[in-house]
Structures are given as structure tokens and as C-alpha cells.
Amino acid sequence: MARGKGWNMKRKLLIAILALILATSFLATPAIADTKPPAPAEANDAKAIYKLAQDKFLSDFRVYEDKRRAINQSFKEAIDKALSDARSLSVSGQSQMQKRQNMNSRQTAIIAATAIRDAAIDLLGLPPIAPTPPAKAPKLEKPKKPKPAN
């Protein structure tokens, strides 16, 4: 029996030592530093500048699109009015000359509305241009181990 108690004691001591080694290895793990260098401040600045430029671009683009939509909406209304006026003027029993005058007035109204729309879009200018994203930092090459000559 004494021999059994001695073995149990050695076994408990061995387990305690293994537990202590495992615990210290887990505690030491966070102390190992990452060998990857931190991102330089310039890269962060470039990303921040790009983010601000992208936000400004999006807001400018929304404003541009809203104005363009308003121009196109007024163009559509002018075309619809020209077509409805032409329909209201055309009645059965018209002479060929009256039909041509109605078609010419409709065509003139459409040409005028198109010219007004084109001029308004030209005054609006070019749409805003999206900013260019910052260039990525080049990857660091890992030193290649020389291959042994066979």
C-alpha cells in the first residue's frame, strides 16, 4: 500500500508540473509580438483623404443626378404637352394642309424642347469624377532560401 501512495504522489506532482508548464505557455503567448510592421501613418492618411473625397464625390453626384432628372422631367412634360396639343388640334375632316400644319407645330415644339434640354444639360456641365483609390503598398518579398545544388 505504501508503494501505491508513493505512485499517486509522483503522479500528482507530474500532473501539477505539466499543468504549470501549460499555464505558463498560454500566458506567454500574447507576449509574442507580431513581426508584421504596423501600417505607416501615410497610408492611413491616404485612406482618410480618399474616404473624404469619395464622400464628397457621392454627394456631388447625387446633386448632379437630381438636377439632371429635373431637366429630363421638364423635357418629358414639354414633349407630352406638344403631343397632347397636336392630338387636340387634329379632328376628323381636316384638310391635308391643316394636318401638315399640326404635324409641323408638333415637330417644332419637340425640337424646341430638345434644344432647351440639351442647353440645360450643357450648362449643368460634366458629371463629377470619382476619386482614385490610394495605391496599395508593395508587398515585401520574403527572402528565398538558396536551393542546395544536387
Tens digit of each residue's pLDDT, the chain (150 residues): 445 566 777 777 777 776 767 666 655 555 555 555 555 566 678 888 999 999 999 999 999 999 999 999 999 999 999 899 888 887 777 888 988 998 999 999 999 999 999 999 999 999 999 998 887 777 777 777 777 776
Whole-angstrom Cα distance, residue 23 to residue 27?
A: 6
C-alpha 96: how far from chain center: 58
Comparing CA positions, the residue from 73, 74, 69, 82 lying closest to residue 110 is 82
Q: Where are the domains of the chain?
A: 41-131
CB 116 within 8 A of CB 78: yes
pTM of the model: 0.57
Comparing CA positions, the residue from 57, 37, 65 lying closest to residue 133 is 57
Query: Which residues 6+ apart lie within 8 Å of 13 measured at CB?
Result: none
Comparing CA positions, the residue from 107, 114, 113 lying closest to residue 86 is 107
Query: What is the pLDDT, as a whole number, of residue 1?
Result: 46
